[in-house]
Amino acid sequence: MASNRKVLMLPGDGIGPEVVGQVKRVMDWMEKRGLAGFEVTEDLVGGAAYDVHGTPLADSTLEAAMASDAVLLGAVGGPKWDALPFEAKPERGLLRLRKEMELFANLRPALVFDALVDASTLKPEIVRGLDIMIVRELTGGIYFGEPRGIEDLGWGERKGINTQVYTTTEIRRVARVAFDLALKRGGRVCSCEKANVMESGVLWREEVQKVHDDEYPEIELSHMYADNAAMQLVRDPKQFDVIVTDNLFGDILSDEAAMLTGSLGMLPSASLGAEDEDGRRRAMYEPVHGSAPDIAGKDMANPLATLLSFSMMLRYSFAMGDEADLLDGAIRKVLDGGMRTADIMQKGKARVSTTVMGDALLDELDRRAA
Ligand code: NAD
């Protein structure tokens, strides 16, 4: 089928190729069924790229990513590359991709599937039906701010420095992503910072409020200090719809929200860049988990986080909401039917491999499309 959907696959290291492999099967299924065509290319990233090119992200791979409509990444890293210098580490490849593609908005849904409600360490009544979205600013803030470094003060004393910096533009563009998502969801945004102790937090609060008042008055906007948000997320997570926050707080709050769902193998993410004149947004989709070297190559990995990331790609890069719903529904059904990879195994359920989970999903898709 002819396609204008250019997808770059970067399976990466460890379990990356195994979980991305299941997405390829679903893409093939969609093509065969005439639902969608994709122009897929595949390349190396992380340790796999370092082994071939001596760098975790070759310039040619970056160019391919820039020219694609969406990137699907598996995972990077592993003990084989742990001793490499900082700039050559697999994770640097991922950070460079995010930076060069200007992926400033990281979307992390925290969704609790009914079948997995007991996987959470929180009481079922606290998390049942949970469906929140955390939007984390990804290219600014303290992880990139200057000055940074470690200074030798000269008398056996050293100083470590990082700087939290945000501009109006950076705050406004990520706020708009959060408001746009809220329009399609529950209509509520909670913005989190530490305006009580940080000037950058004061600016963040003021700018988010301005974007709201000028452009999204219909959205219910609240502001919360990030430390309180951390508490509220475990006390009563369902009070939230969309949370928008900076890079540092987003890193922490999104991991905390992730654990409400109980399983790393179930967590998708999307990272979005600015829209160009044609309305095309650079975008990368990836599971939240890492390369899981302890189970790599054993056909044990849970592919659902990557499949759910692909579903986000369909929804946010290709406006294919119906196909995304079809895939999400099939995943839900397979879980309801009792299929479990080892990481989400529960008593009385069927423990299956990565491949068998993929088989079950394709069977369910077949049933739904019949
Ligand atoms: P990890 O997410 O790889 O693994 C943590 C634990 O969760 C392991 O026990 C693993 O077996 C399990 N797990 C993770 N994903 C799973 C899945 N899909 N199915 C079943 N079990 C799963 O985190 P880690 O062990 O801290 O890091 C391993 C490597 O991955 C490191 O090199 C780290 O730097 C890298 N890492 C990469 C990314 C990324 O590519 N985005 C993210 C985190 C860590």
Tell me which of 211, 227, 260 is where a domain ends. 260
CA–CA distance, 211 with 221 (Å, rounded to integer)? 11
Output the domain CATH number for residue 354: 3.40.718.10
Instruction: Looking at the structure, tell me whether residues 269 and 356 fall in a common domain.
Output: yes
- Residues composing the chain: 370
Domain presence at residue 118: no
Structure token digits, residue 69: 């409509």
Tell me which of 225, 240, 260 is where a domain ends. 260
Instruction: Looking at the structure, tell me whether residues 292 and 354 fall in a common domain.
Output: yes
Question: Domain tally for the chain?
Answer: 2
168-206: pLDDT as tens digits? 999 999 999 999 999 989 999 999 999 999 999 999 999
Instruction: Looking at the structure, tell me whether residues 360 and 320 fall in a common domain.
Output: yes
The H-or-E segment that residue 74 falls in is strand 70-75
Instruction: Looking at the structure, tell me whether residues 43 and 57 fall in a common domain.
Output: yes
Does the pLDDT value for residue 1 go beyond 50? no
Within 6 Å (CB) of ligand 1, which residues are found? 15, 19, 75-78, 91, 94, 264-265, 286, 289-295, 301-302, 305, 341, 343
Domain limits for position 167 = 131-260
243-301: pLDDT as tens digits? 999 999 999 999 999 889 878 899 999 999 987 777 788 999 999 999 999 999 999 99
Question: From ligand 1's centre to the CA of 100, what distance in Å?
Answer: 24
Instruction: Looking at the structure, tell me whether residues 204 and 140 fall in a common domain.
Output: yes
Query: For 355-369, what is the mean pLDDT?
Result: 97
| Residue 59 CB neighbour total at 10 angstroms | 10
State how far Cα 188 lies from the chain centre. Answer: 20
To the query of whether residue 363 is one of the catalytic residues in this protein, the response is: no
Domain presence at residue 333: yes
Instruction: Looking at the structure, tell me whether residues 87 and 4 fall in a common domain.
Output: yes
Question: From ligand 1's centre to the CA of 72, what distance in Å?
Answer: 17
pLDDT of residue 2: 45
Say what the pTM is: 0.93
